[in-house]
Amino acid sequence: MMRRLRAAAAVVAIAGALLAAPGTPAQAQAQTDEPCLQIQPLIDGAGNALIERLGLEQAWQHTRGAGATVAVIDSGVDGDNVHLQGAIAGAQTMFRPTAEQAQSSDPREDLLGHGTAAAGIIAARPVEGSDVVGIAPEADILAIRAFQTNDADSDRAVGPTTRAVADAIRLAADRGADVINLSLSQPQPDPAMQSAIAYAQARGALIVASAGNRGTSEDDPAQPRYPAAYDGVLGVSGVTAEGEWDAASSFLGASVDVVAPGQGLLAPWCGGGDTVLGEQVSSSWATAVVSGIAALVAAEHPDESPQEWAYRIMATALRTTPGERKDTVGWGEARPYEALVFLDDGSAPGPESPTHDRPTDLVVDDEAVRIEAPRDPLAGTRAAVAWTLLGGVTVSLTALVIGNLRTRRPARRGSR
């Protein structure tokens, strides 16, 4: 297992706080000391269940994400991985290692694998002989390296700080990112982080952030997670490959807006080749899934605001009761095709539209307008309902409520 970095004065613990730690890559379990030096083989013939679960083939008939840029603020992105060649539109590092650390600060290198996997879930290019493909396989990735490893026993470890991540968010906005993926979280608010998020939102970026991993944190589960809890941020929690919420893995609360699968995903891996992201549900991977969906929405609707993009994703998410949000799964499991074709007139049950008032005479019949899952040929037993919510959870949270930012998206910057 990848080990956690202990908190220090200026550094926040990666797994337990600022970074929602990854599940252990199944094909990299033996690489505990040098997890990214051994090249993994391509995964061919297993099939990519996420394509079926999310109905991506239908969504790709509208767009594959061309024209959208997603900033991945993480451990770096392996530019040599075959799936990511041609996908990285820019790269920068927000730290410089000391002489004692003596490890590369090249943003196109990744010593941990976390950033490479997240970028691949978002925008991996299809490659012959591999079943790995991103949610938005024609979107561009802006790789911003904010830390390099979570090896707690290494004096060469450079973990993330709130300042480095905040600076990375500002850089991503200045570089024209449409979507900023933050597969990380912490339990305390931070003024620098909040200011950076407001800065990016004002420049037309949608922030997609992890709502945290309970299994890798010693923090009070009743605490909201940041930056997911900030106004206008799309907070994401992970569910199993079958869409079930796992109380042992995921936090719950008002900072959860939507969920996505965070288990068993195929992804590119640092050092080259592919991996299967392990058995534990991870909000890191779920956040990347939603960032990929956001890239599709941004590419299809470039004149809409980030708040409208987020609203599309929330309003069309798969849930058992369309008019009701739950602390476990927010508005439900994100669905790309439905988000792409959604027409907003203010009458949709669920979250409030950022651009239309809800009709005063609207009557919601939950049974009549129930949102159904796309047909899943891999599991007929769950075709009627894509996932089951775990009941009986009695943890009560006091959290920041995601507000509705009504500022329209500024005119898009020059063509990319």
Q: Which residues are catalytic?
A: 74, 114, 284
Q: Is 274 helix (H, G, I), strand (E, B) or coil?
A: strand
* CB environment 284-306: b (16+ within 10 A), e (fewer): bbbbbbbbbbbbbbbbbbeebbb
Q: Is the separation of the CB atoms in 224 and 17 below 8 Å?
A: no
Rg for the chain, CA atoms, rounded:
19
- Cα angle for residues 308, 311, 312 (degrees, 5° grid): 90
> Residue 213 has which token pair?
């991993």
Rounded distance between C-alpha atoms, residue 126 and residue 48, angstroms: 12
Residue with tokens 């002489």: 99
Q: Is 397 helix (H, G, I), strand (E, B) or coil?
A: coil
Rounded distance between C-alpha atoms, residue 269 and residue 247, angstroms: 28
> Within 10 A of 242 (CB to CB), how many other CB atoms are there?
18
Nearest to 246 by CA among 363, 355, 388: 388
Give the residue ranges of DSSP H helices in 247-330. Answer: 283-300, 306-315
> Residue 242 has which token pair?
């079958």
